[in-house]
A and B are shown apart, each in its own frame.
Chain A
């Protein structure tokens, strides 16, 4: 049987120039439930599907508020995300202490990217098995960053990662032009609709399995869960059923 000789560690390239361990780590991100993020000129929104292991268990934590100006959404290994979020929390507090400055999102993103990168270049280490969306507001306005286990980071207008996230990204690409000038409420609706796209057909967005995080100019990043999001879920799906736009609701799981 074929055996890959180049995936035992994350420091060895394959002859094709690939690092398999890093690619496997990226597979771990795809195992996680989907999270999406969108930004307008004034707001940044994260939305996530929470899974519960069984009917009796609690739901996972998908969105973590880090500092008052931003939060993260995760897909993949939650324990790796916790390590990263603890680091981000520390760095954010340190920035506020030493400079009295809310850490710029680009700055905190590069800091975790640097950490992730060292994991891909030192023997005996393992890449983070988690992808993050970092969303919030800093001195330069709202931002959304995507973080991957490889240490690659990108600033995004809208993004979705996790299981079946291609469907969400398709929705986001189609509605790209509307995000910039969208209001807070509209942006949340877009995020929820994108989220819904990625759901298999027998599943619904409920107050139990959905998380929303919102940050805005002159508005602290806040996590909304449970009853707080009932209104948004209601209005989003009402409009979908009463006025289905351009067959987007007919997307078939392929």
Chain B
């Protein structure tokens, strides 16, 4: 029994994205204690452009090898006027422990609504981003077990994307993948969005090689990139699949799309 949870993390064998050893007592008569987290799998991704931000996530929800449902959205409109999501300008994506994700979404949504009620104007993405960081950090000793990505348009109308760890560290980025297949998607994004390891043709060899300079991608290219990232992730990760939900934030509002992914 003691070997099941022996302090040090196991370095071998297949594991789910969040599966790590709980540090509980492992004395002779170990009790089955309550562990308040689970991993519901799935992946999310966000890319910001010159005048838009795209957030995407698959819609599968899992527990272990079971599929709970094929449609559980991980993307949420924040601060909308009604239940239909009209009037929202910010999108939050959460992946990890779905119950915490939902709770986090509802807290942020309430805060943004109260902000609008009290100040008579919508909250800026930068303000919302910092507030989200504080919400997460305030619960650092019993964290929301989620990787959050927040997207919108900044004060200048440029695409804004913020990514978070479960305890509130955050930064603004061009692109970010999170969740079960983050390790599969992120390197692809590094290469295709930030042009990592891409060099100017004929610029030389060795140190003379010149990095290609990344610049904001057009919307159409980004959409294609997102689709490719997810169809590939579905092939290689069992917790990702069923459906792809996308939200595209532009000055005209939020456009939402849904496409089927493989259900295997």
Which residues of chain B come closer than 8 Å to A97, judged between CB atoms? 106, 110
Smallest CB gap from B82: residue in A: A68
Complex-state Cα separation, A97 to B82, whole angstroms: 13
Interface residue? A89 (CB, 8 A)? yes
**One of A69, A89, A96, A102 near B117 (C-beta < 8 A):** A89
Interface residue? B2 (CB, 8 A)? no
Report yes or no: A93 in contact with B86, Cβ–Cβ below 8 A. Answer: no
Q: Tell me if A's interface is mostly helix, strand, loop or mixed.
A: mixed
**One of A89, A96, A102 near B114 (C-beta < 8 A):** A89
Please tell me the size bucket of the interface on A: under 10
Complex-state Cα separation, A97 to B106, whole angstroms: 7
Interface residue? A31 (CB, 8 A)? no
Interface residue? A220 (CB, 8 A)? yes
Interface residues of A in 218-240 (CB under 8 A from B): 220
Report yes or no: B81 in contact with A68, Cβ–Cβ below 8 A. Answer: yes
Interface residue? B83 (CB, 8 A)? yes
Interface residues of B in 97-149 (CB under 8 A from A): 106, 110, 113-114, 117
Complex-state Cα separation, A93 to B112, whole angstroms: 12
Contact with B along A75-97 (1 / 0, CB 8 A): 00000000000000100010011
Report yes or no: B82 in contact with A220, Cβ–Cβ below 8 A. Answer: yes
**One of B86, B106, B113 near A220 (C-beta < 8 A):** B86
Report yes or no: A68 in contact with B83, Cβ–Cβ below 8 A. Answer: yes
Give how many B residues have a beta carbon under 8 Å from the other chain's beta carbons.
Answer: 9
Interface residues of A in 44-87 (CB under 8 A from B): 68-69
- Looking at the assembled complex, report how far the CB atom of A151 sits from the nearest CB atom of chain B, in whole angstroms: 25
Complex-state Cα separation, A97 to B113, whole angstroms: 13
Complex-state Cα separation, A89 to B116, whole angstroms: 12
Which residues of chain A come closer than 8 Å to B117, judged between CB atoms? 89
Which residues of chain A come closer than 8 Å to B106, judged between CB atoms? 97
- Looking at the assembled complex, report how far the CB atom of B74 sits from the nearest CB atom of chain A, in whole angstroms: 18
- Looking at the assembled complex, report how far the CB atom of A174 sits from the nearest CB atom of chain B, in whole angstroms: 35
Complex-state Cα separation, A17 to B40, whole angstroms: 64
- Looking at the assembled complex, report how far the CB atom of A218 sits from the nearest CB atom of chain B, in whole angstroms: 9
- Looking at the assembled complex, report how far the CB atom of A96 sits from the nearest CB atom of chain B, in whole angstroms: 8
Contact with B along A82-124 (1 / 0, CB 8 A): 0000000100010011001010000000000000000000000
Which residues of chain B come closer than 8 Å to A89, judged between CB atoms? 114, 117
**One of A69, A93, A220 near B110 (C-beta < 8 A):** A93
Smallest CB gap from A101: residue in B: B83
Report yes or no: A93 in contact with B113, Cβ–Cβ below 8 A. Answer: yes
- Looking at the assembled complex, report how far the CB atom of A196 sits from the nearest CB atom of chain B, in whole angstroms: 28
Smallest CB gap from B103: residue in A: A97
- Looking at the assembled complex, report how far the CB atom of A22 sits from the nearest CB atom of chain B, in whole angstroms: 30
- Looking at the assembled complex, report how far the CB atom of B108 sits from the nearest CB atom of chain A, in whole angstroms: 12
Report yes or no: B113 in contact with A69, Cβ–Cβ below 8 A. Answer: no
- Looking at the assembled complex, report how far the CB atom of A212 sits from the nearest CB atom of chain B, in whole angstroms: 17
**One of A69, A93, A100 near B82 (C-beta < 8 A):** A69
Smallest CB gap from B106: residue in A: A97
- Looking at the assembled complex, report how far the CB atom of A215 sits from the nearest CB atom of chain B, in whole angstroms: 11
Complex-state Cα separation, A102 to B82, whole angstroms: 10
Complex-state Cα separation, A34 to B113, whole angstroms: 29
Which residues of chain A come closer than 8 Å to B81, judged between CB atoms? 68, 220
Which residues of chain B come closer than 8 Å to A96, judged between CB atoms? 83
- Looking at the assembled complex, report how far the CB atom of A172 sits from the nearest CB atom of chain B, in whole angstroms: 29
Which residues of chain B come closer than 8 Å to A69, judged between CB atoms? 82
Interface residues of B in 16-60 (CB under 8 A from A): none
- Looking at the assembled complex, report how far the CB atom of A99 sits from the nearest CB atom of chain B, in whole angstroms: 12
- Looking at the assembled complex, report how far the CB atom of A101 sits from the nearest CB atom of chain B, in whole angstroms: 10
Smallest CB gap from B80: residue in A: A68
Nearest 4 pairs between A and B by C-beta? Answer: A68-B82, A68-B81, A220-B82, A220-B81
Q: What residues make up the interface of B, taking CB atoms closer than 8 Å to A?
A: 81-83, 86, 106, 110, 113-114, 117
Extra A-B contacts (15), CB below 8 Å, given A68-B83, A69-B82 = A68-B81, A68-B82, A89-B114, A89-B117, A93-B110, A93-B113, A93-B114, A96-B83, A97-B106, A97-B110, A100-B83, A102-B83, A220-B81, A220-B82, A220-B86
Q: What residues make up the interface of A, taking CB atoms closer than 8 Å to B?
A: 68-69, 89, 93, 96-97, 100, 102, 220
Task: Provide a sorted-by-A list of 17 A–B residue pairs whose CB atoms are within 8 angstroms.
Answer: A68-B81, A68-B82, A68-B83, A69-B82, A89-B114, A89-B117, A93-B110, A93-B113, A93-B114, A96-B83, A97-B106, A97-B110, A100-B83, A102-B83, A220-B81, A220-B82, A220-B86
